[in-house]
């Protein structure tokens, strides 16, 4: 679809009232967030109540209420063919490039060096998931071996984050195990580290089994991820605790049923804080992966109050999201890692970023209607 210009009145005519309300709310929220990101992270004063909705004005509150609806809509639309082909065709030009460090390793390396120059650690991922073709899986494994070699040759402080469905989990668990073990061994030969991302609920058991197998086989340069939106995560954490695991804690990015996950943001946030405190007590290393300043603020206070050394945890954020906050925390002496993915297969990753913050859809739509 070619870009076209649209006057306010014509776009109003095509835009249902609920969308107009949402867009107005999203703009208000976006403006507020832009201001926050431009200023130092507020990490002093009383801890904010994480159970309350966002503390903005009426626009912010409306966006807050509508976000779960739009999040679900975007995640459902991800598997719609016309949506997929449209976004795949125009997405990189219209916004995906803000979240992806390039389509090639060479482009990603430039950004990895740039982030390193800002005092930020990085990880990288070759975008792609849910591969069900043996030959394609083998190509991914070889590509990751090349990425590890390149990281070493460039002298980058960058580790790997991999998805098991890209390494054969949907073919069978042993294939995924063998492939990820090959990468963990190769990473160890360079003194590097591999983190196994967490995917949908149906993959949690398989992912945790593979992580436990790797640890049982004596590999220590490997970690995984737990999601605070799942009811089961507290029990999973206790199950892993004896391993003194290296864990990343996230809220969770997939569309899950309320039978297995907290439906409300306030509950997900409260779960995040409970899990973060427990992880900091049992982990060998905890990665606090969120852009949510209330949670970051709480973790800073908690680690200070409990004398948890700064080399036992780090903050992790995604490439292109809250960059000022990333640098502010790094300047204050905290370890900050920026997850910096690359590759041509960015579609699912980008759709999850749109779903996390539906105002990003607004940016996408604005680009579409911007006169060329």
Query: Which amino acids are annotated catalytic?
Result: 197, 248
Residue 227 sits in the site that holds ligand FAD (CB under 6 A): yes
The only residue of 91, 168, 252, 341 in contact with ligand FAD, by rule CB under 6 A: 252
Alpha-carbon distance 138 to 356, whole Å? 31
Residue 71 sits in the site that holds ligand FAD (CB under 6 A): no
Taking CB under 6 A as the rule, which mask of x and - marks residues 260-299 in contact with ligand FAD? Answer: -----------------------------xxxx-------
The only residue of 23, 280, 317, 351 in contact with ligand FAD, by rule CB under 6 A: 317
Residue 63 sits in the site that holds ligand FAD (CB under 6 A): no
Minimum gap (Å) between residue 371 Cβ and ligand FAD: 25
Residue 33 sits in the site that holds ligand FAD (CB under 6 A): yes
Taking CB under 6 A as the rule, which mask of x and - marks residues 196-215 in contact with ligand FAD? Answer: -xx-----------------
Nearest to 294 by CA among 278, 270, 261, 313: 270
SS (H, E, C) 1-31: CCCCCCCHHHHHHHCCHHHHHHHHHHHHHHH
Residue 251 sits in the site that holds ligand FAD (CB under 6 A): yes
Q: What single DSSP character describes residue 199?
A: -
Alpha-carbon distance 65 to 69, whole Å? 8
233/316 with CB nearer ligand FAD: 316
Tell me the H-state helices in the chain.
8-14, 17-38, 58-77, 81-94, 105-117, 134-154, 173-189, 204-216, 233-240, 265-282, 293-305, 323-331, 347-356, 359-369
14/257 with CB nearer ligand FAD: 257
C-alpha dist (Å) from residue 187 to 26, 162, 339:
42, 12, 17
DSSP reduced 3-state for 191: coil
Residue 56 sits in the site that holds ligand FAD (CB under 6 A): no
Q: What single DSSP character describes residue 342?
A: B
Residue 351 sits in the site that holds ligand FAD (CB under 6 A): no
Minimum gap (Å) between residue 369 Cβ and ligand FAD: 20
Alpha-carbon distance 157 to 117, whole Å? 11
Residues belonging to the chain: 372
The only residue of 23, 127, 169, 253 in contact with ligand FAD, by rule CB under 6 A: 253
Minimum gap (Å) between residue 122 Cβ and ligand FAD: 10
In the complex, the residues that contact ligand FAD under the rule CB under 6 A are 33, 197-198, 225, 227, 250-254, 289-292, 316-318, 321-322, 339, 353, 356-357, 360
């Amino acid at each position: 679809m070619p870009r076209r210009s649209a006057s306010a009145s014509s776009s109003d005519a095509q835009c249902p009232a609920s969308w107009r309300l949402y867009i107005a709310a999203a703009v208000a929220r976006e403006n507020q967030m832009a201001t926050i990101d431009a200023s130092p992270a507020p990490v002093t004063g009383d801890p904010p109540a994480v159970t309350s909705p966002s503390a903005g004005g009426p626009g912010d509150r409306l966006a807050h209420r509508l976000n779960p609806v739009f999040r679900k809509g975007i995640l459902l639309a991800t598997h719609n063919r016309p949506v997929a082909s449209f976004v795949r065709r125009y997405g990189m030009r219209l916004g995906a490039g803000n979240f992806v460090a390039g389509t090639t390793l060479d482009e990603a390396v430039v950004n990895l060096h740039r982030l390193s120059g800002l005092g930020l650690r990085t990880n990288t991922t070759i975008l792609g998931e849910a591969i069900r073709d043996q030959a394609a899986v083998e190509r991914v494994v070889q590509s990751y071996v090349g990425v590890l070699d390149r990281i070493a040759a460039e002298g980058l402080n960058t580790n790997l984050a991999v998805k098991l469905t890209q390494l054969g989990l949907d073919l069978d668990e042993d294939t995924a195990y063998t492939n990820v073990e090959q990468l963990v061994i190769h990473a160890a030969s360079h003194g590097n580290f591999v983190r196994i991302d967490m995917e949908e609920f149906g993959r949690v058991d398989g992912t945790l089994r593979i992580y436990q197998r790797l640890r049982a086989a004596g590999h220590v340069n490997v970690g995984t991820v737990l999601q605070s939106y799942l009811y089961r995560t507290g029990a999973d954490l206790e199950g892993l605790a004896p391993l003194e695991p290296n864990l990343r804690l996230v809220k969770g990015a997939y569309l899950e049923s309320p039978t297995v996950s907290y439906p409300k943001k306030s509950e997900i946030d409260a779960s995040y804080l409970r899990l973060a405190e427990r992880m900091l007590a049992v982990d060998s290393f905890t990665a606090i992966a969120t852009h949510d300043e209330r949670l970051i603020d709480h973790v800073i206070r908690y680690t200070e109050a409990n004398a948890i050394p700064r080399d036992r945890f780090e903050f992790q954020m995604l490439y292109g999201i809250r960059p000022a906050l990333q640098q502010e925390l790094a300047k204050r002496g905290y370890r900050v890692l920026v997850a910096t993915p690359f590759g041509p297969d960015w579609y699912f990753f980008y759709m999850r970023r749109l779903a996390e913050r539906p105002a990003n859809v607004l940016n996408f739509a604005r680009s579409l209607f911007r006169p060329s």
